[in-house]
Amino acid sequence: MKNLKLKAARASFDMSQQELADRVGVSRQTINAIEKGDYNPTINLCIAICKALNKTLDEIFWDSSTP
């Protein structure tokens, strides 16, 4: 499932995938794969992404459509 919340949060900071990747210590391809839903990040990477975007885990990674 695509992570549009991550893409929107990143865009709200006018941050490129490369800039986010640099901040959290991964490749741009990793950020791209997370946004496309092709990669499930570790909890540590999720936390780093949330800190970089000033968001909570729920705001970026929780899918409220799943019971």
Tokens of 33: 């794969």
Residue 32 is predicted with a pLDDT of 97
Q: By residue range, what is the domain housing residue 47?
A: 4-61
pTM of the model: 0.89
The number of folded domains in the chain is 1
Query: 19 vs 1, which has greater pLDDT?
Result: 19
Residue 63 is predicted with a pLDDT of 77
Q: What is the CATH number of the domain that holds 24?
A: 1.10.260.40
- Contact in structure between 17 and 31 (CB atoms under 8 Å): yes
> pLDDT tens, 2-52?
899 999 999 999 999 999 999 999 999 999 999 999 999 999 999 999 999
18 occurs within a structural domain: yes
Q: List CB contacts of 32: < 8 A, sequence separation 6 or more.
A: 17
58 alpha-carbon distance from chain centroid: 12
33 occurs within a structural domain: yes
67 occurs within a structural domain: no
- Contact in structure between 2 and 37 (CB atoms under 8 Å): yes
66 occurs within a structural domain: no
Residue 66 is predicted with a pLDDT of 56
Round to whole Å and give the CA distance between 40 and 67: 19
